[in-house]
Structure formats: structure tokens, C-alpha cells
Amino acid sequence: MKAAAARLWASLDGLSPESIALVLAVGLVLGVFPVFGCPTLLCAAVAFLFRLNLPAIQLVNQVSAPLQWALLIPFARIGARLLGGRAVWNFAGAARDAIAGWFCLSLPLGLLLYFILLFTLRRCRPQWFNGLESPG
């Protein structure tokens, strides 16, 4: 985990607080997308679309992979409640329910995470972004 954190800070070196907050929030939100294989493609598409640091967003995506596994069933249950039915445990039904749950939870929480990170990074800018030391 220390090696991943060191690589992440190295890839974020020289970026603005806005870019860092966006990379971390988008990488985490898309990294927990409940269809396996899709987060990598989604992160790459968003990185190219918004001109973000591709290695950094992919690293955040890969670090959040255990959360993808952990949140699969809760997303499916929330999505089933939102769609008005019972949790269906066939592949298509479970994927549909999990994606619905992901949309309703992850996107608003991702926006909140972005603004919290942006506020925090702007306040800590004199300490972290002078190139003298990395946090941790």
C-alpha cells in the first residue's frame, strides 16, 4: 500500500488542487462501478475527456477495487428497492439493480467528496504544493 501511495503522490506532483481533487473523486466513484472491467474503461474515457492525469486516475481506480467487491451487494439491494422490486439474483437483474444503486449513492457522494477534497487541498496548498515535501 505504501508503494501505491508513493506512486500516486508522484503522479499528482505538479497538478493543481482542482485537478487532484477531480482525479481522486472521479477515480474513486468510477472505481466502485459495480460491473467488473468497466471502471478501467470509464476512468480512461473520463481522463481523456477532461484531460486528467491517466496514470493517477487509473491508480485510484485500482486501489478502490476492493471497495467495488464490498459494495456490490449493498448497491444491488439499494437499486432493487429503488426500482420497486425484490433483489433479483440473476446476472442481468443484479447488474441493473447494482448500477441503479450506484447512480443514486456514488454520484452525489462523489460530488461531496470532490468539494471536500478541493477545500482541504486549497487550505493545505502552502504545505504540500511547494514541492518541498509530500504528505504522509
The Cα–Cα gap between 84 and 43 comes to 30
Average pLDDT score, the chain: 84
If 0-12 CB within 10 Å is exposed, 13-18 middle and 19+ buried, where does residue 5 land?
middle
Q: Given this model, what pLDDT does residue 14 score?
A: 77
More confident residue, 1 or 90: 90
Per-residue pLDDT tens for 85-100? 766 677 888 888 899 9
If 0-12 CB within 10 Å is exposed, 13-18 middle and 19+ buried, where does residue 97 land?
buried
Count of CA atoms in the C-beta half-sphere (13 A) of 13: 11
Q: What is the dihedral of CA 56, 113, 33, 31, to 10 degrees?
A: 20
Per-residue pLDDT tens for 79-132? 888 888 766 677 888 888 899 999 999 989 999 999 999 999 888 765 555 554
Q: Given this model, what pLDDT does residue 132 score?
A: 43
